[in-house]
Structure 1
Amino acid sequence: MTITTCIFDAYGTLFDVTSAAQRAAHDPEFSRLAQLWPQLAQDWRAKQLEYSWLRVIMGDHTPFWTVTMDALDWALARAGLEDDPPLRARLLQLYQELSAYPEVPIMLQTLKDKGFSTAILSNGSHDMLDAAVSSAGLDRLLDDVLSVDTVGIFKPSDQVYQMVPDRFQCARDEVLFVSSNGWDIAGAARFGFVTAWVNRAALPVDRMPGQPAHILSDLTQIPEIAAHA
C-alpha cells in the first residue's frame, strides 16, 4: 500500500522538550538552574510520560497540561527548586514555546510539496499544541493537529491511533507514523501503521510486540521513506 499520510508525535519528535529548561537556564534571574537544567529536563519528561501511563491504567484521565505541571513540580522538588514560583511560571511559559528541531520545517515542506497529508497526533492538549505549532511557525505545514482530548485517553491506546484513519479516511498501512518515543512506535506499529522511530539518543529497540519499520537519527529522511515505503 502506498503511503498517503504522514503523522508525527509532537513532544520530543517535532519539538525539543529540553529547550524550555535550557532557555530558562540562560536567564540571569534563574542562575540556580544553570548547572541543573539537563537533569531537570530529563526528570520533567520522564515523570510526564510516567504520569500519563499511570492515569491510563487507573482510568483517571486529565488534560496533558495538568500532567505536565505535576511532572514539573516533581522535577523541581527533586532539584531543590520547589521554592521558586517565578521559575516554575517561566518554565511553563517556555513549554508553550518549545523549539522545533532544525530540520522540521524543511522536512514538512518537502512532504507537502510531494502531496502527502501531514498532521500531529499527540497526548498534548489542544491549547498546548496550538501554542507550540504557532510559536514554531508550522501552521501552514500541517493539515491537522489531533489531540487525545478528543477521545479522553492517552497513547498508546488504540483509540488514539484510530483518530488518524477516521480523520484522513485512509487505511492503516497508508500511514507513516513518526515518533521519538519507542513505546509510541510500538503502539502504532501494533495498530498497523508503518513506523519510523527517530532515535536521536541511539537507544536499544524496545522489547514490545510492535517494532519500528525504520530507525533514524533525525527527521531528514522522512520524505524519502514516505515516497518509497
Structure 2
Amino acid sequence: MTAAFVFDAYGTLFDVHAAVRRHAEQAGPDHLRFSEMWRAKQLEYSWVRTLMGSYRDFWKLTEEALDYTFARMPEVDRSLRADLLSAYWKLDCYPEVPAVLKSLKAGGAKVAILSNGSPDMLAAAVKNAALDTVIDDVFSVDAIRAYKTAPQAYDMVTTGYRLYPHAVSFQSSNRWDIAGAKKFGFRTVWINRTGLPDEYADHGPDLILPSLESLPS
C-alpha cells in the first residue's frame, strides 16, 4: 500500500518554462532555447555545488543561472531580468495537477513535495497554484544543504513520515531524480512530458507516464 505520494516540484507540478513563455515576445525568437539553457544551468549548479560541499540556496542558483544565460545569449534584452525572476515565483502548475492531488488526498494518503527549491520559493508556488489545501508537507533540501540526488534528500521523507522507502511513491519529470529516488528505494513514476529517451538503465522507473493524469492511486 502506498502511504505517501511525493512529488518533485519544478517540471513535475510546476512548468519551469512558464516564466520565459510569459515574456516570449520580448525575449524574441530564441526564447525556448533561452529557457532551456536557464533551466540546464540551474540544475548544473545544484549538482556541482553538492559535490563540492559548497551549498547555495536554489533561488541564488536560479539568479546566477539566469545571469549566465543572458551572457551566453546577449540578443535577449537583459532588461527582462527582473520580470523573469518575478515570474519564476508564480509558475503555472500543469492543468491536471489540482485534480490529481485532490484525488490522492481524498484516498487517505499523504501528499507532499520534495524539492530542491528554497522554502520561500516553494511556498509561493504552492500558494499561487492554490495547492496549499491539498499539500500536506513541503520538504525542501535547504534543510540539509545538499541537492538531489544526494540520498539524504530522499531520506527527509522517510524520516519525516516514519516510513520505509517502498511505502512512498515518488513522481518526477526529471529522469536523474527518478534514478536517485529509485536507488534510495522509493517506488518511482517518471512523468516523461516531452517524450525523452530513457537513461540510467540500472535505476529504471517503476512506471512511465506522459503526465500525472493517469497516476494510479
Q: TM-score scaled to structure 1, two decimals?
A: 0.92
Matched residue, 1:192 = 185
Match of 1:176 among 155, 169, 172: 169
**Deviation for aligned residue 1:207:** 2.3
Partner of 1:56: 50
> Residue 73 of structure 1 contacts residue 82 of structure 1 at CA under 8 Å; is this kept in 2?
no
CA distance in 1, matches of 2:195, 2:113: 23
Q: What are the superposed Cα offsets for residues 160-215 of structure 1, whole Å, 9 maximum, x if unpaired?
A: 00000111121110000000000000000000000000011111211253210000
Work out whether residues 121 and 145 of structure 1, in 8 Å CA contact, stay in contact via their aligned partners in 2. Answer: yes
CA change 1:48–1:127 in 2 (3 A) is same
The 8 Å contact of residues 190 and 209 in structure 1, kept in 2 or not, is answered as: no
Residue 185 of structure 2 aligns to which amino acid in structure 1? G
2:144 — aligned with what? Answer: 151
User: Does 1:76 find its partner at 2:75?
Assistant: no
Is residue 2:138 matched to residue 1:139? no
Aligned residues: 217
Q: Residue 166 of structure 2 aligns to a residue in which SS?
A: helix
| 1:144 partner letter | D
Matched residue, 1:18: 17
In structure 2, how many angstroms separate the alpha carbons of the residues matched to 1:157 and 1:208? 19
Runs of 4+ with deviation above 4 angstroms: none
Contact kept in structure 1, 2:98 and 2:131, CA below 8 Å: yes
Shift of 1:61: 0.6
Q: Is 2:113 the counterpart of 1:120?
A: yes
* Equivalent residues of 1:186, 1:212 under 8 A apart: yes
Q: What residue ranges of structure 2 are gaps of 5+ in the alignment?
A: none
Q: Does 1:5 align with 2:4?
A: yes
Structure 1 unaligned spans of 5+: none
Query: Matches of 2:156 and 2:183 in 1, distance apart?
Result: 15
In the TM superposition, what are the counterparts of 1:90-129 in structure 2 within 5 Å?
Answer: 90-129=83-122
Cα pair 1:48 1:71 within 8 Å, conserved: yes
Match of 1:34 in 2: 28
d(CA) in 1 for partners of 2:117 and 2:92?
15
AA aligned opposite 2:22: R
Which range moved further: 101-110 or 69-78?
A: 69-78
> Residue 186 of structure 1 contacts residue 211 of structure 1 at CA under 8 Å; is this kept in 2?
yes
How big is the shift at 1:84?
A: 2.4
1:82 to partner: Cα distance: 7.0
Q: TM-score normalized by structure 2?
A: 0.97
Moved more, 183-192 or 202-211: 202-211
Q: Give the whole-Å Cα distance in 1 for the aligned partners of 2:14 and 2:68.
A: 22
Quote the RMSD (CA, aligned, Å): 1.2
Pairwise CA distance, 1:81: 5.0
